[in-house]
Chains A and B, each alone.
Chain A
Protein backbone atom coordinates (compact mmCIF):
# COMPACT_ATOMS: atom_id res chain seq x y z
CA UNK A 1 0.00 0.00 0.00
CA UNK A 2 1.31 3.43 -0.89
CA UNK A 3 1.23 5.29 2.41
CA UNK A 4 2.72 8.55 1.18
CA UNK A 5 0.03 8.96 -1.53
CA UNK A 6 -2.66 10.73 0.51
CA UNK A 7 -0.11 12.89 2.36
CA UNK A 8 1.43 14.11 -0.87
CA UNK A 9 -1.99 14.65 -2.42
CA UNK A 10 -3.00 16.82 0.58
CA UNK A 11 0.33 18.66 0.40
CA UNK A 12 -0.12 19.34 -3.31
CA UNK A 13 -3.66 20.47 -2.77
CA UNK A 14 -2.66 22.79 0.10
CA UNK A 15 0.10 24.32 -2.01
CA UNK A 16 -2.25 24.87 -4.99
CA UNK A 17 -4.92 26.34 -2.75
CA UNK A 18 -2.48 28.82 -1.22
CA UNK A 19 -1.17 29.82 -4.63
CA UNK A 20 -4.76 30.40 -5.76
CA UNK A 21 -5.25 32.66 -2.77
CA UNK A 22 -2.69 34.94 -4.46
CA UNK A 23 -0.15 34.56 -1.66
CA UNK A 24 2.63 35.28 -4.14
CA UNK A 25 1.41 38.85 -4.57
CA UNK A 26 3.71 39.69 -1.67
CA UNK A 27 6.56 39.17 -4.12
CA UNK A 28 5.46 42.31 -5.90
CA UNK A 29 5.88 44.26 -2.67
CA UNK A 30 9.23 42.58 -2.08
CA UNK A 31 10.37 43.50 -5.60
CA UNK A 32 9.20 47.10 -5.21
CA UNK A 33 10.95 47.30 -1.86
CA UNK A 34 14.33 46.14 -3.07
CA UNK A 35 14.24 47.84 -6.47
CA UNK A 36 13.07 51.07 -4.84
CA UNK A 37 15.71 50.66 -2.16
CA UNK A 38 18.41 50.12 -4.73
CA UNK A 39 17.37 53.22 -6.75
CA UNK A 40 17.12 55.38 -3.63
CA UNK A 41 20.55 54.28 -2.39
CA UNK A 42 22.37 55.68 -5.43
CA UNK A 43 23.57 58.69 -3.40
CA UNK A 44 25.42 56.48 -0.91
CA UNK A 45 28.87 54.96 -1.30
CA UNK A 46 28.82 51.50 -2.88
CA UNK A 47 29.71 49.85 0.45
CA UNK A 48 26.74 51.53 2.11
CA UNK A 49 24.45 50.72 -0.83
CA UNK A 50 25.25 47.01 -0.76
CA UNK A 51 25.12 46.83 3.01
CA UNK A 52 21.66 48.43 3.08
CA UNK A 53 20.39 46.45 0.11
CA UNK A 54 21.30 43.25 1.94
CA UNK A 55 19.94 44.53 5.26
CA UNK A 56 16.56 45.48 3.81
CA UNK A 57 16.22 42.50 1.45
CA UNK A 58 17.08 39.78 3.94
CA UNK A 59 15.05 41.53 6.65
CA UNK A 60 12.06 41.66 4.29
CA UNK A 61 12.62 38.02 3.36
CA UNK A 62 12.51 37.07 7.02
CA UNK A 63 9.35 39.16 7.65
CA UNK A 64 7.48 37.81 4.62
CA UNK A 65 8.32 34.15 5.21
CA UNK A 66 7.42 34.44 8.91
CA UNK A 67 4.10 36.11 8.06
CA UNK A 68 3.22 33.53 5.42
CA UNK A 69 4.14 30.70 7.79
CA UNK A 70 1.94 32.00 10.61
CA UNK A 71 -1.02 33.24 8.56
CA UNK A 72 -1.25 30.31 6.13
CA UNK A 73 -0.96 27.72 8.89
CA UNK A 74 -3.33 29.44 11.31
CA UNK A 75 -5.99 29.65 8.66
CA UNK A 76 -6.19 26.17 7.18
CA UNK A 77 -7.76 24.17 10.02
CA UNK A 78 -10.67 26.58 10.74
CA UNK A 79 -11.17 27.00 6.97
CA UNK A 80 -11.28 23.26 6.31
CA UNK A 81 -13.77 22.88 9.15
CA UNK A 82 -15.90 25.72 7.84
CA UNK A 83 -15.83 24.32 4.28
CA UNK A 84 -16.39 20.86 5.78
CA UNK A 85 -13.60 19.48 3.55
CA UNK A 86 -11.90 18.07 6.64
CA UNK A 87 -14.87 15.74 7.25
CA UNK A 88 -14.77 14.42 3.68
CA UNK A 89 -11.04 13.84 3.97
CA UNK A 90 -11.05 12.18 7.36
CA UNK A 91 -13.99 9.94 6.46
CA UNK A 92 -11.59 8.20 4.07
CA UNK A 93 -8.82 5.93 5.40
CA UNK A 94 -6.53 8.89 6.04
CA UNK A 95 -5.14 9.05 9.58
CA UNK A 96 -5.36 12.49 11.19
CA UNK A 97 -1.61 12.84 11.49
CA UNK A 98 -1.31 12.28 7.73
CA UNK A 99 -3.79 15.05 7.11
CA UNK A 100 -1.72 17.39 9.32
CA UNK A 101 1.53 16.24 7.73
CA UNK A 102 0.14 16.88 4.23
CA UNK A 103 -0.98 20.35 5.24
CA UNK A 104 2.38 21.16 6.84
CA UNK A 105 4.31 19.86 3.83
CA UNK A 106 2.15 21.99 1.51
CA UNK A 107 2.90 25.10 3.56
CA UNK A 108 6.62 24.26 3.77
CA UNK A 109 6.66 23.80 -0.02
CA UNK A 110 5.08 27.24 -0.39
CA UNK A 111 7.69 28.71 1.96
CA UNK A 112 10.47 27.03 -0.04
CA UNK A 113 9.18 28.45 -3.34
CA UNK A 114 8.67 31.90 -1.77
CA UNK A 115 12.20 31.90 -0.30
CA UNK A 116 13.65 30.74 -3.61
CA UNK A 117 11.84 33.41 -5.64
CA UNK A 118 12.83 36.18 -3.22
CA UNK A 119 16.44 34.97 -3.22
CA UNK A 120 16.58 34.96 -7.02
CA UNK A 121 15.15 38.47 -7.13
CA UNK A 122 17.50 39.72 -4.43
CA UNK A 123 20.60 38.14 -6.00
CA UNK A 124 19.63 39.46 -9.44
CA UNK A 125 19.35 43.03 -8.11
CA UNK A 126 22.61 42.61 -6.21
CA UNK A 127 24.33 41.34 -9.36
CA UNK A 128 22.94 44.20 -11.46
CA UNK A 129 24.09 46.81 -8.95
CA UNK A 130 27.49 45.12 -8.74
CA UNK A 131 27.88 45.19 -12.53
CA UNK A 132 27.01 48.90 -12.60
CA UNK A 133 29.45 49.77 -9.81
CA UNK A 134 32.20 47.64 -11.40
CA UNK A 135 31.73 49.44 -14.73
CA UNK A 136 31.81 52.83 -12.98
CA UNK A 137 34.96 51.86 -11.07
CA UNK A 138 36.71 50.71 -14.25
CA UNK A 139 35.79 53.98 -15.98
CA UNK A 140 37.01 56.06 -13.02
CA UNK A 141 40.33 54.22 -12.83
CA UNK A 142 41.30 54.45 -16.46
CA UNK A 143 45.06 54.85 -16.65
CA UNK A 144 45.68 53.55 -13.14
CA UNK A 145 48.04 50.64 -12.49
CA UNK A 146 46.74 47.07 -12.85
CA UNK A 147 47.24 46.50 -9.12
CA UNK A 148 45.16 49.56 -8.20
CA UNK A 149 42.37 48.55 -10.57
CA UNK A 150 42.34 44.98 -9.34
CA UNK A 151 42.27 46.13 -5.69
CA UNK A 152 39.40 48.54 -6.34
CA UNK A 153 37.40 45.89 -8.21
CA UNK A 154 38.06 43.37 -5.46
CA UNK A 155 36.76 45.85 -2.92
CA UNK A 156 33.50 46.13 -4.89
CA UNK A 157 33.04 42.36 -5.29
CA UNK A 158 33.86 41.80 -1.61
CA UNK A 159 31.11 44.24 -0.65
CA UNK A 160 28.47 42.55 -2.80
CA UNK A 161 28.04 38.81 -3.00
CA UNK A 162 29.23 36.72 -0.12
CA UNK A 163 28.86 32.93 -0.23
CA UNK A 164 27.72 33.02 3.41
CA UNK A 165 24.48 34.66 2.29
CA UNK A 166 23.27 31.27 1.04
CA UNK A 167 23.39 29.42 4.39
CA UNK A 168 21.81 32.55 5.88
CA UNK A 169 18.90 32.28 3.44
CA UNK A 170 18.53 28.54 4.17
CA UNK A 171 18.28 29.36 7.89
CA UNK A 172 15.57 31.97 7.14
CA UNK A 173 13.61 29.19 5.39
CA UNK A 174 14.13 26.76 8.29
CA UNK A 175 13.02 29.40 10.79
CA UNK A 176 9.82 29.98 8.81
CA UNK A 177 9.18 26.20 8.68
CA UNK A 178 9.64 26.11 12.45
CA UNK A 179 7.09 28.90 12.81
CA UNK A 180 4.69 26.98 10.56
CA UNK A 181 4.93 23.84 12.69
CA UNK A 182 4.66 25.89 15.92
CA UNK A 183 1.50 27.53 14.55
CA UNK A 184 0.23 24.09 13.54
CA UNK A 185 0.68 22.93 17.13
CA UNK A 186 -1.24 25.96 18.39
CA UNK A 187 -4.05 25.51 15.88
CA UNK A 188 -4.39 21.84 16.86
CA UNK A 189 -6.17 22.96 20.04
CA UNK A 190 -7.22 26.52 19.17
CA UNK A 191 -10.82 27.32 18.50
CA UNK A 192 -10.28 30.22 16.06
CA UNK A 193 -7.65 31.41 13.64
CA UNK A 194 -7.48 34.80 15.39
CA UNK A 195 -6.44 33.07 18.63
CA UNK A 196 -3.78 31.07 16.76
CA UNK A 197 -2.39 34.15 14.99
CA UNK A 198 -2.21 36.21 18.18
CA UNK A 199 -0.61 33.36 20.10
CA UNK A 200 1.89 32.63 17.32
CA UNK A 201 2.85 36.32 17.11
CA UNK A 202 3.34 36.41 20.89
CA UNK A 203 5.42 33.24 20.77
CA UNK A 204 7.48 34.78 17.98
CA UNK A 205 8.54 37.64 20.27
CA UNK A 206 8.95 35.43 23.35
CA UNK A 207 11.00 32.96 21.30
CA UNK A 208 13.46 35.73 20.53
CA UNK A 209 13.93 36.31 24.25
CA UNK A 210 14.29 32.61 25.08
CA UNK A 211 18.10 32.74 24.99
CA UNK A 212 18.15 35.69 27.41
CA UNK A 213 15.73 33.91 29.76
CA UNK A 214 17.76 30.70 29.52
CA UNK A 215 21.00 32.48 30.32
CA UNK A 216 19.44 34.24 33.29
CA UNK A 217 17.97 31.01 34.59
CA UNK A 218 21.10 28.93 34.13
CA UNK A 219 23.51 31.59 35.37
CA UNK A 220 22.29 30.90 38.91
CA UNK A 221 21.82 34.54 39.82
CA UNK A 222 21.28 34.76 43.57
CA UNK A 223 17.59 35.72 43.66
CA UNK A 224 14.42 34.16 45.04
CA UNK A 225 13.41 30.88 43.37
CA UNK A 226 10.10 32.28 42.16
CA UNK A 227 11.74 35.10 40.25
CA UNK A 228 13.66 32.45 38.33
CA UNK A 229 10.54 30.43 37.61
CA UNK A 230 9.34 32.56 34.70
CA UNK A 231 12.67 32.50 32.82
CA UNK A 232 12.82 28.74 33.47
CA UNK A 233 9.37 28.25 31.93
CA UNK A 234 10.28 30.43 28.95
CA UNK A 235 13.53 28.51 28.45
CA UNK A 236 11.79 25.14 28.63
CA UNK A 237 8.60 25.76 26.69
CA UNK A 238 9.60 28.14 23.92
CA UNK A 239 11.91 27.74 20.94
CA UNK A 240 15.16 29.71 20.80
CA UNK A 241 14.36 31.80 17.73
CA UNK A 242 17.40 34.03 18.23
CA UNK A 243 19.55 31.04 17.20
CA UNK A 244 18.12 31.38 13.69
CA UNK A 245 19.05 35.04 13.24
CA UNK A 246 22.37 34.46 11.53
CA UNK A 247 21.78 36.89 8.66
CA UNK A 248 22.28 40.04 10.78
CA UNK A 249 25.92 39.08 11.24
CA UNK A 250 26.34 37.43 7.83
CA UNK A 251 25.41 40.71 6.14
CA UNK A 252 28.10 42.39 8.20
CA UNK A 253 30.64 39.95 6.73
CA UNK A 254 30.87 37.27 9.41
CA UNK A 255 31.56 33.82 7.95
CA UNK A 256 29.34 30.92 9.02
CA UNK A 257 31.35 27.86 10.11
CA UNK A 258 29.90 24.65 8.61
CA UNK A 259 29.37 23.12 12.07
CA UNK A 260 27.38 26.13 13.24
CA UNK A 261 25.22 26.05 10.11
CA UNK A 262 24.57 22.30 10.40
CA UNK A 263 23.80 22.51 14.13
CA UNK A 264 21.40 25.43 13.62
CA UNK A 265 19.69 23.69 10.71
CA UNK A 266 19.51 20.47 12.76
CA UNK A 267 17.96 22.33 15.70
CA UNK A 268 15.37 23.85 13.35
CA UNK A 269 14.45 20.47 11.86
CA UNK A 270 14.22 18.99 15.36
CA UNK A 271 11.82 21.75 16.44
CA UNK A 272 9.71 21.20 13.31
CA UNK A 273 9.51 17.46 14.05
CA UNK A 274 8.69 17.93 17.74
CA UNK A 275 5.98 20.57 17.15
CA UNK A 276 4.44 18.44 14.42
CA UNK A 277 4.42 15.34 16.67
CA UNK A 278 2.78 17.28 19.49
CA UNK A 279 0.25 18.80 17.07
CA UNK A 280 -0.59 15.29 15.82
CA UNK A 281 -0.94 14.07 19.42
CA UNK A 282 -3.41 16.81 20.35
CA UNK A 283 -5.29 16.73 17.03
CA UNK A 284 -5.75 12.96 17.14
CA UNK A 285 -7.96 13.35 20.23
CA UNK A 286 -9.76 16.47 19.14
CA UNK A 287 -13.53 16.37 18.70
CA UNK A 288 -14.40 17.66 15.26
Chain B
Protein backbone atom coordinates (compact mmCIF):
# COMPACT_ATOMS: atom_id res chain seq x y z
CA UNK B 1 0.00 0.00 0.00
CA UNK B 2 2.59 2.52 1.05
CA UNK B 3 4.78 1.33 -1.86
CA UNK B 4 2.02 2.27 -4.27
CA UNK B 5 1.66 5.68 -2.62
CA UNK B 6 5.35 6.42 -3.14
CA UNK B 7 5.18 5.09 -6.67
CA UNK B 8 2.21 7.40 -7.37
CA UNK B 9 4.06 10.43 -5.98
CA UNK B 10 7.15 9.47 -8.01
CA UNK B 11 5.06 9.15 -11.16
CA UNK B 12 3.47 12.52 -10.39
CA UNK B 13 6.95 14.05 -10.24
CA UNK B 14 7.89 12.45 -13.57
CA UNK B 15 4.67 13.75 -15.12
CA UNK B 16 5.37 17.20 -13.66
CA UNK B 17 8.85 17.20 -15.19
CA UNK B 18 7.52 16.01 -18.55
CA UNK B 19 4.98 18.81 -18.86
CA UNK B 20 7.21 21.63 -17.57
CA UNK B 21 8.15 22.86 -21.08
CA UNK B 22 4.49 22.72 -22.14
CA UNK B 23 3.43 24.72 -19.06
CA UNK B 24 6.09 27.37 -19.70
CA UNK B 25 5.07 27.52 -23.34
CA UNK B 26 1.41 27.87 -22.40
CA UNK B 27 2.21 30.69 -20.01
CA UNK B 28 4.18 32.50 -22.71
CA UNK B 29 1.27 32.05 -25.13
CA UNK B 30 -1.17 33.37 -22.53
CA UNK B 31 1.00 36.41 -21.85
CA UNK B 32 1.37 37.09 -25.56
CA UNK B 33 -2.44 37.12 -25.76
CA UNK B 34 -2.54 39.60 -22.82
CA UNK B 35 -3.54 37.03 -20.18
CA UNK B 36 -1.94 36.61 -16.75
CA UNK B 37 -0.29 40.02 -16.85
CA UNK B 38 -1.53 41.45 -13.55
CA UNK B 39 1.43 42.32 -11.35
CA UNK B 40 0.65 40.94 -7.90
CA UNK B 41 3.44 42.54 -5.89
CA UNK B 42 4.30 43.12 -2.23
CA UNK B 43 3.02 46.67 -2.65
CA UNK B 44 -0.40 45.32 -3.66
CA UNK B 45 -0.29 42.90 -0.73
CA UNK B 46 0.07 45.88 1.61
CA UNK B 47 -2.83 47.68 0.00
CA UNK B 48 -5.36 44.85 -0.04
CA UNK B 49 -4.36 42.92 3.04
CA UNK B 50 -3.48 39.26 3.41
CA UNK B 51 -6.98 37.89 2.75
CA UNK B 52 -7.39 40.05 -0.34
CA UNK B 53 -3.99 39.06 -1.65
CA UNK B 54 -4.78 35.40 -1.11
CA UNK B 55 -8.04 35.85 -3.01
CA UNK B 56 -6.20 37.60 -5.84
CA UNK B 57 -3.66 34.79 -6.00
CA UNK B 58 -6.39 32.16 -6.00
CA UNK B 59 -8.06 33.26 -9.16
CA UNK B 60 -10.48 35.80 -7.71
CA UNK B 61 -8.82 38.93 -9.01
CA UNK B 62 -11.89 40.17 -10.85
CA UNK B 63 -14.47 39.72 -8.02
CA UNK B 64 -12.01 41.42 -5.65
CA UNK B 65 -11.60 44.29 -8.10
CA UNK B 66 -15.42 44.61 -8.30
CA UNK B 67 -15.72 44.79 -4.51
CA UNK B 68 -12.98 47.44 -4.28
CA UNK B 69 -14.67 49.36 -7.07
CA UNK B 70 -17.87 49.50 -5.02
CA UNK B 71 -15.77 50.83 -2.12
CA UNK B 72 -14.32 53.47 -4.44
CA UNK B 73 -17.85 54.43 -5.44
CA UNK B 74 -18.77 54.89 -1.77
CA UNK B 75 -15.65 57.02 -1.35
CA UNK B 76 -16.86 59.12 -4.28
CA UNK B 77 -20.26 59.61 -2.67
CA UNK B 78 -18.44 60.83 0.44
CA UNK B 79 -16.06 62.93 -1.72
CA UNK B 80 -12.99 61.22 -0.24
CA UNK B 81 -10.79 61.88 -3.26
CA UNK B 82 -7.51 60.64 -1.83
CA UNK B 83 -9.02 57.31 -0.71
CA UNK B 84 -10.67 56.99 -4.09
CA UNK B 85 -7.36 57.45 -5.90
CA UNK B 86 -5.78 54.74 -3.76
CA UNK B 87 -8.63 52.32 -4.44
CA UNK B 88 -8.48 53.04 -8.17
CA UNK B 89 -4.78 52.29 -8.06
CA UNK B 90 -5.49 48.90 -6.52
CA UNK B 91 -8.40 48.06 -8.82
CA UNK B 92 -6.41 48.87 -11.94
CA UNK B 93 -3.47 46.80 -10.65
CA UNK B 94 -5.81 43.85 -10.14
CA UNK B 95 -7.54 44.24 -13.50
CA UNK B 96 -5.10 46.01 -15.84
CA UNK B 97 -6.98 44.79 -18.92
CA UNK B 98 -10.27 46.37 -17.93
CA UNK B 99 -10.76 49.56 -19.93
CA UNK B 100 -13.78 50.53 -17.84
CA UNK B 101 -11.69 50.78 -14.66
CA UNK B 102 -8.92 52.87 -16.27
CA UNK B 103 -11.40 55.10 -18.04
CA UNK B 104 -13.63 55.70 -15.02
CA UNK B 105 -10.66 56.19 -12.67
CA UNK B 106 -9.22 58.82 -15.01
CA UNK B 107 -12.60 60.53 -15.40
CA UNK B 108 -13.20 60.70 -11.64
CA UNK B 109 -9.74 62.16 -11.05
CA UNK B 110 -9.46 64.58 -13.97
CA UNK B 111 -13.05 65.80 -13.92
CA UNK B 112 -14.74 65.27 -10.54
CA UNK B 113 -11.80 65.45 -8.14
CA UNK B 114 -10.11 68.30 -10.01
CA UNK B 115 -13.25 70.45 -10.02
CA UNK B 116 -13.87 69.65 -6.35
CA UNK B 117 -10.27 70.68 -5.56
CA UNK B 118 -10.70 73.97 -7.40
CA UNK B 119 -13.92 74.72 -5.54
CA UNK B 120 -12.64 73.56 -2.16
CA UNK B 121 -13.94 76.17 0.29
CA UNK B 122 -11.67 74.91 3.04
CA UNK B 123 -8.61 76.03 1.08
CA UNK B 124 -8.38 79.84 1.12
CA UNK B 125 -5.36 80.03 -1.19
CA UNK B 126 -6.38 80.10 -4.82
CA UNK B 127 -2.86 79.13 -5.90
CA UNK B 128 -3.03 75.96 -3.81
CA UNK B 129 -6.50 75.16 -5.12
CA UNK B 130 -5.25 75.47 -8.68
CA UNK B 131 -2.24 73.34 -7.85
CA UNK B 132 -4.49 70.62 -6.40
CA UNK B 133 -6.73 70.82 -9.46
CA UNK B 134 -3.73 70.31 -11.76
CA UNK B 135 -2.47 67.44 -9.66
CA UNK B 136 -5.79 65.60 -10.05
CA UNK B 137 -5.87 66.26 -13.79
CA UNK B 138 -2.33 64.90 -14.01
CA UNK B 139 -3.44 61.84 -12.01
CA UNK B 140 -6.27 61.26 -14.47
CA UNK B 141 -3.84 61.57 -17.37
CA UNK B 142 -1.48 59.16 -15.64
CA UNK B 143 -4.28 56.56 -15.29
CA UNK B 144 -5.01 56.81 -19.01
CA UNK B 145 -1.35 56.57 -20.00
CA UNK B 146 -0.83 53.49 -17.85
CA UNK B 147 -4.10 52.06 -19.15
CA UNK B 148 -2.81 52.50 -22.70
CA UNK B 149 0.49 50.80 -21.92
CA UNK B 150 -1.44 47.85 -20.45
CA UNK B 151 -3.85 47.74 -23.41
CA UNK B 152 -1.77 48.62 -26.46
CA UNK B 153 -4.21 46.74 -28.70
CA UNK B 154 -7.26 48.91 -27.92
CA UNK B 155 -8.25 52.39 -29.21
CA UNK B 156 -10.69 53.48 -26.46
CA UNK B 157 -8.20 54.91 -23.95
CA UNK B 158 -6.38 56.86 -26.70
CA UNK B 159 -9.71 58.56 -27.40
CA UNK B 160 -10.24 59.32 -23.71
CA UNK B 161 -6.69 60.67 -23.37
CA UNK B 162 -7.33 62.86 -26.42
CA UNK B 163 -10.49 64.20 -24.78
CA UNK B 164 -8.61 64.92 -21.54
CA UNK B 165 -5.78 66.70 -23.37
CA UNK B 166 -8.33 68.71 -25.34
CA UNK B 167 -10.78 69.63 -22.58
CA UNK B 168 -8.67 69.72 -19.45
CA UNK B 169 -5.18 70.66 -20.59
CA UNK B 170 -6.05 72.40 -23.86
CA UNK B 171 -3.02 70.77 -25.44
CA UNK B 172 -4.47 70.50 -28.94
CA UNK B 173 -1.30 69.21 -30.59
CA UNK B 174 -0.99 66.27 -28.17
CA UNK B 175 -4.76 65.68 -28.35
CA UNK B 176 -4.55 65.47 -32.16
CA UNK B 177 -1.81 62.86 -31.87
CA UNK B 178 -3.85 60.75 -29.45
CA UNK B 179 -6.96 60.86 -31.66
CA UNK B 180 -4.74 59.95 -34.62
CA UNK B 181 -3.38 56.94 -32.73
CA UNK B 182 -6.93 55.86 -31.89
CA UNK B 183 -8.09 56.32 -35.49
CA UNK B 184 -5.43 53.88 -36.71
CA UNK B 185 -7.19 50.95 -35.00
CA UNK B 186 -9.64 49.09 -37.24
CA UNK B 187 -12.32 49.13 -34.51
CA UNK B 188 -11.86 52.81 -33.64
CA UNK B 189 -15.02 54.90 -33.36
CA UNK B 190 -15.48 56.95 -36.58
CA UNK B 191 -15.40 60.25 -34.70
CA UNK B 192 -11.77 59.60 -33.59
CA UNK B 193 -10.49 60.50 -37.06
CA UNK B 194 -12.61 63.67 -37.20
CA UNK B 195 -11.53 64.73 -33.71
CA UNK B 196 -7.89 64.28 -34.77
CA UNK B 197 -8.46 66.72 -37.63
CA UNK B 198 -10.32 69.26 -35.47
CA UNK B 199 -7.52 69.28 -32.89
CA UNK B 200 -4.79 69.41 -35.53
CA UNK B 201 -6.46 72.52 -36.91
CA UNK B 202 -6.01 74.20 -33.51
CA UNK B 203 -2.34 73.18 -33.26
CA UNK B 204 -0.08 76.10 -34.25
CA UNK B 205 2.03 75.29 -37.29
CA UNK B 206 -0.02 72.27 -38.37
CA UNK B 207 -2.86 74.12 -40.10
CA UNK B 208 -1.95 72.99 -43.60
CA UNK B 209 -1.49 69.40 -42.45
CA UNK B 210 -4.88 69.63 -40.73
CA UNK B 211 -6.53 70.98 -43.87
CA UNK B 212 -5.12 68.17 -46.02
CA UNK B 213 -6.15 65.59 -43.42
CA UNK B 214 -9.70 66.95 -43.09
CA UNK B 215 -10.01 67.18 -46.84
CA UNK B 216 -9.08 63.50 -47.15
CA UNK B 217 -11.75 62.71 -44.57
CA UNK B 218 -14.26 64.80 -46.48
CA UNK B 219 -13.43 62.88 -49.64
CA UNK B 220 -13.69 59.56 -47.80
CA UNK B 221 -17.47 59.69 -48.04
CA UNK B 222 -20.79 61.07 -46.90
CA UNK B 223 -20.45 59.61 -43.40
CA UNK B 224 -17.61 62.00 -42.54
CA UNK B 225 -19.26 65.09 -44.05
CA UNK B 226 -20.70 66.45 -40.85
CA UNK B 227 -21.54 70.16 -40.42
CA UNK B 228 -18.61 70.78 -38.04
CA UNK B 229 -16.15 69.29 -40.53
CA UNK B 230 -17.58 71.24 -43.50
CA UNK B 231 -17.64 74.53 -41.58
CA UNK B 232 -14.07 74.03 -40.40
CA UNK B 233 -12.88 73.21 -43.92
CA UNK B 234 -14.60 76.33 -45.22
CA UNK B 235 -12.94 78.47 -42.56
CA UNK B 236 -9.54 76.93 -43.23
CA UNK B 237 -9.87 77.40 -46.98
CA UNK B 238 -10.31 81.11 -46.33
CA UNK B 239 -7.46 81.28 -43.81
CA UNK B 240 -5.08 79.33 -46.03
CA UNK B 241 -6.12 81.11 -49.22
CA UNK B 242 -6.98 77.93 -51.02
CA UNK B 243 -7.81 78.72 -54.68
CA UNK B 244 -11.55 78.64 -55.41
CA UNK B 245 -11.13 75.82 -57.90
CA UNK B 246 -9.48 73.60 -55.30
CA UNK B 247 -12.03 74.18 -52.57
CA UNK B 248 -14.16 71.24 -51.64
CA UNK B 249 -16.55 72.80 -49.23
CA UNK B 250 -18.32 74.88 -51.87
CA UNK B 251 -20.06 71.74 -53.03
CA UNK B 252 -21.95 71.60 -49.76
CA UNK B 253 -24.76 73.78 -48.60
CA UNK B 254 -24.01 76.06 -45.66
CA UNK B 255 -24.98 74.41 -42.41
CA UNK B 256 -26.51 75.77 -39.24
CA UNK B 257 -23.63 74.45 -37.20
Contacts and interface: CB of A to CB of B under 8 A. Distances in A.
Contacts, number: 154
A217 to B, nearest CB: 9
A51 B105 CA distance: 14
B24 A214 contact: yes
B69 to A, nearest CB: 7
A252 B30 contact: no
B54 A59 contact: no
Contact of A251 (B17, B19, B59, B62): B62
Interface residues of B, number: 55
Contacts of A62: 59-60
A243 B59 contact: no
Most A CB atoms within 10 A — which of B5, B7, B20, B66?
Answer: B66
Nearest to B54: A205
Contact of B20 (A55, A214, A270, A285): A214
A287 B1 contact: yes
Given A48-B69, A248-B62, A249-B34, A243 B97 contact: no
Contacts of B115: none
A218 B189 CA distance: 44
Interface in B1-26: 1, 3-5, 7-9, 11-13, 15-17, 19-20, 22-24, 26
B1 A243 contact: no
A262 to B, nearest CB: 11
Q: What size tier do the contact residues of chain A reach?
A: 35 or more
Most A CB atoms within 10 A — which of B3, B34, B63, B223?
Answer: B63
B242 interface: no
Nearest to B96: A252
B104 interface: yes
A246 B35 contact: yes
A238 B225 CA distance: 61
A29 interface: no
B138 interface: no
A237 B9 contact: yes
A215 B101 CA distance: 29
B26 A252 contact: no
B100 interface: yes
Nearest to A264: B26
Given A247-B62, A278-B8, A257 B24 contact: no
Contact of A51 (B29, B33, B100, B191): B100
A59 B104 CA distance: 22
Nearest to B1: A285
Contacts of A282: 1, 4-5, 8
B23 A59 contact: no
A140 interface: no
Contact of A55 (B35, B36, B63, B103): B63
A2 interface: no
B129 interface: no
A45 B107 CA distance: 12
A47 B104 contact: yes
B98 interface: yes
Given A243-B27, A281-B8, A260 B19 contact: no
B58 A208 contact: yes
Most A CB atoms within 10 A — which of B8, B15, B57, B99?
Answer: B8
B190 interface: yes
Interface in A41-92: 43-45, 47-48, 51-52, 54-56, 58-60, 62-63
B11 A278 contact: yes
B132 to A, nearest CB: 26
Given A47-B104, A189-B5, A236 B62 contact: no
A278 B9 CA distance: 8
B87 to A, nearest CB: 14
Interface string B196-213: 000000000000000000
B23 A240 contact: yes
Contacts of B97: 249, 252-254
Interface in A221-245: 235-238, 240-245
Interface string B18-61: 01101110110110011111100000000000000010011111
- Nearest first, the 6 closest Cβ-Cβ pairs linking A and B are A59-B63, A236-B16, A252-B97, A55-B66, A252-B98, A245-B59
Given A62-B60, A236-B16, A248-B61, 11 more contacts: A54-B62, A189-B1, A189-B5, A211-B23, A242-B59, A245-B59, A248-B62, A260-B35, A267-B26, A274-B12, A284-B4
Interface of B: 1, 3-5, 7-9, 11-13, 15-17, 19-20, 22-24, 26-27, 29-30, 33-38, 54, 57-63, 65-66, 69-70, 73, 95-101, 103-104, 154, 189-191, 223
13 contacts: A56-B66, A58-B62, A151-B191, A159-B100, A205-B54, A215-B27, A236-B16, A237-B16, A248-B61, A252-B99, A253-B154, A254-B33, A260-B33
